[in-house]
């Protein structure tokens, strides 16, 4: 088997590795790892700086020993990944960086390895990237929740026939329907915040596996990188990947809500229904059929949701490994970051769909008075007014609906309901046309649903305002963490600059 020869001067990192890597290993493994270099590039430098500063703080290195290393790292910090000579022949991004630092610093570059494995630097870099992506997705979901709440308020008084199994069910408001997606988005904010808390844990100072004999201050290391907590168990902090699955699960859940919405809207926007119209900017024309207006954004959302479910499944599958193995981590960096980036794009598209939605109020109102949608209301009225048990009242109304349809009608009348009641109960019930009109009027039926969370216009608006408050709190939460990250990084850079200048 042919081997790939490393560049001249490369001696390898372990005495037992006596040859360069096989080309098949480079192609299948190392190239995969080096593909994550842009994701990890800046975070690796921050991890190096934090470790270097801590080595000086704990007395493991002198300032003079650390200063030249810090100077090179500071120069590297804001350099673009595309300009760095990452080479898959070396393995992962860390090893390529090590080779470049050796070229600039000689043996002094080796000081960064004191008390730390390359794995620790990579884990820190990835957690920094993961935190950032979770906060970005969190902001996108908050924007969708706000867009859904705003639309719910606009449609709080829009009557429609709510459906289950796509069958007309009961009179409701379209604002209540839309508010359900806002409420799901609120739960997604909770999930993303929980996933962030799991990602916001520092593995710094873990050493090989069981910690390091050097007096590194793990709390100080974590604070220097803006982490909210220190991994309480060093082996777990280095090897456990369950937090990655939680992040992708939160992303997949958020987009699953959009897929559900998209599936509904594709039906509602069809000419057969005509309930809603998507903004033209979210549609695409047919090349052949000039009359068509394809709601292209909706299949994009559904397909994206399926893709994320697949990525989550793959991540869970690669996690089925013995402990302290790299099977899951080898594929996880790019897959997890890619999943969160995809979810962000899809959620932003979902917000555009929600914001640009036009509702045909008249078509929805016509449906609200059709298909006997107030039948359950009438059955409940019969129980309250005439003290029937509900199952008997249900049969009376059901018989009346069947008789009306058999006679070619589409609205219940007093004589038909009275006849059905006498047939079922054996007694005459004084059911008047006025009673029927009052009970089966969709506006009255909706107004009666005034329990918290109900479909009456006031309750829809109340719920939407609650969602808005949650969004405002989420945005404050997000901003506070962004600020913590920024301030910690500024302090770390300042400490590194002081170290290199002798200050």
Convert the pLDDT of each residue in 259-285 to its tens digit: 999 999 999 999 999 999 999 999 998
Quote the tokens at residue 164: 């289950």
pLDDT at position 10 over 80: no
N- to C-terminal Cα distance for the chain? 54
Residue 156, classed as helix, strand or coil, is coil
491 within 8 A of 221, measured Cβ to Cβ: no
Convert the pLDDT of each residue in 187-213 to its tens digit: 999 999 999 999 999 999 998 888 899
Element (H, E) at 277: strand 276-277
Phi and psi of 122, rounded to 5°?
A: -65, -40
Convert the pLDDT of each residue in 124-168 to its tens digit: 999 999 999 999 999 999 999 999 999 999 999 999 999 999 999
pLDDT at 9: 45
Of 122, 37, 30, which is closest to residue 83 (Cα–Cα)?
A: 37
In the structure, what pLDDT confidence band is assigned to residue 184 with cuts at 50, 70 and 90? very high
Give the residue, 462 or 429, on which the prediction is more confident. 462
Convert the pLDDT of each residue in 213-269 to its tens digit: 999 999 999 999 999 999 999 999 999 999 999 999 999 999 999 999 999 999 999
Residue 328, classed as helix, strand or coil, is helix
pLDDT at 287: 85
pLDDT at 125: 96
pTM: 0.93
Q: CA of 473: how far to CAs of 222, 468, 470, 483, in Å? A: 26, 9, 5, 15
Give the residue, 16 or 413, on which the prediction is more confident. 413
DSSP per residue over 355-372, as a string? HT-EE-HHHHHHHHTSTT
Alpha helices in 319-360 (DSSP H): 327-355
Mean confidence (pLDDT) of the chain: 93
d(CA 449, CA 71): 68
Which range, 23-32, 282-291, 293-302, has the best average confidence (pLDDT)?
Answer: 293-302
pLDDT at 4: 52
3-state SS of 10-78 is CCCCCCCCCCCCCHHHHHHHHHHHHCCHHHHHHHHHHHHHHHHHHHHHCCCCCHHHHHHHHHHHHHHHC
d(CA 132, CA 136): 6
pLDDT at position 315 over 90: yes
% of the chain residues with pLDDT over 70: 96
pLDDT at 378: 93
pLDDT at position 503 over 70: no
Convert the pLDDT of each residue in 467-501 to its tens digit: 999 999 999 999 999 999 999 999 999 999 999 98
Task: Give Cα 55 distance to the centre of its chain.
Answer: 37
pLDDT at 496: 96
Please compute Rg for the chain using Cα positions. 31
pLDDT at 15: 55
68 within 8 A of 108, measured Cβ to Cβ: yes
Mean pLDDT of 158-183: 95
pLDDT at 11: 45
In the structure, what pLDDT confidence band is assigned to residue 13 with cuts at 50, 70 and 90? low
Quote the tokens at residue 245: 């699955």
Could you give the angle at the alpha carbon of 492 between the alpha carbons of 490 and 493, nearest 5°? 65
Convert the pLDDT of each residue in 50-66 to its tens digit: 999 999 999 999 999 99
Q: Do strands 201-202 and 167-173 pair parallel, antiparallel, or not at all (unpaired)? A: unpaired
């Amino acid at each position: 088997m042919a081997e790939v020869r490393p560049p001249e001067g490369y001696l390898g990192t372990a005495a037992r590795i006596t040859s360069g890597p096989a080309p098949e290993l480079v192609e299948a493994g190392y190239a995969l790892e080096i593909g994550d270099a842009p994701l990890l590039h800046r975070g690796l430098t921050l991890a190096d700086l934090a470790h270097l500063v801590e080595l000086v703080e704990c007395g493991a290195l002198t300032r003079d020993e650390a200063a030249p290393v810090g100077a090179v790292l500071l120069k590297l910090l804001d350099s673009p990944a595309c300009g760095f000579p990452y080479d898959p022949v070396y393995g992962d991004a860390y090893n390529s960086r090590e080779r470049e630092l050796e070229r600039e610093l000689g043996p002094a570059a080796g000081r960064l390895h004191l008390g730390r494995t390359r794995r620790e630097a990579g884990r820190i870099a990835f957690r920094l990237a993961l935190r950032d992506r979770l906060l970005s997705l969190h902001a996108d979901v908050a924007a969708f929740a706000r867009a859904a709440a705003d639309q719910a308020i606009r449609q709080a008084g829009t009557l429609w026939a709510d459906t289950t199994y796509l069958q007309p069910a009961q009179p409701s408001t379209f604002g209540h329907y839309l508010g359900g997606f806002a409420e799901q988005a609120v739960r997604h904010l909770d999930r993303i915040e929980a996933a962030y808390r799991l990602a916001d844990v520092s593995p710094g100072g873990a050493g090989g596996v069981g910690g390091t004999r050097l007096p590194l201050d793990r709390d100080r290391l974590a604070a220097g990188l803006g982490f909210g907590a220190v991994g309480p168990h060093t082996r777990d902090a280095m090897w456990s990947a369950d937090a990655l699955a939680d992040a992708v699960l939160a992303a997949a859940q958020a987009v699953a809500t959009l897929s559900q919405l998209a599936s509904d809207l594709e039906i509602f926007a069809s000419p057969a229904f005509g309930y809603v119209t998507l903004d033209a900017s979210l549609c695409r024309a047919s090349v052949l059929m000039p009359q068509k207006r394809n709601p292209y954004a909706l299949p994009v959302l559904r397909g994206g949701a399926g893709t994320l479910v697949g990525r989550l499944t793959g991540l869970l599958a690669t996690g089925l490994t013995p402990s302290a193995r790299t099977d899951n981590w080898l594929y996880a960096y790019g897959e997890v970051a890619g999943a969160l980036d995809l979810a962000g794009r899809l959620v932003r598209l979902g917000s555009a769909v929600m914001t640009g939605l036009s509702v045909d109020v008249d078509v929805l109102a016509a449906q609200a008075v059709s298909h006997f949608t107030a039948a359950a209301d009438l059955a409940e009225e019969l129980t309250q007014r005439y003290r029937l048990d509900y199952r008997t009242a249900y049969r009376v109304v059901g018989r009346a609906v069947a008789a009306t349809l058999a006679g070619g009608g589409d609205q219940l009348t007093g004589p038909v309901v009275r006849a059905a009641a006498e047939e079922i109960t054996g007694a005459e019930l004084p059911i008047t046309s006025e009673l029927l009109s009052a009970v089966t009027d969709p506006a009255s039926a909706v107004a009666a649903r005034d329990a918290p969370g109900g479909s009456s216009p006031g309750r829809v608006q109340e719920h939407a305002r609650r969602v808005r408050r949650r969004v405002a709190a989420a945005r404050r939460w997000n901003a506070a963490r962004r600020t913590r990250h920024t301030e910690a990084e500024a302090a770390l850079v300042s400490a590194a600059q002081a170290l290199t200048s002798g200050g």
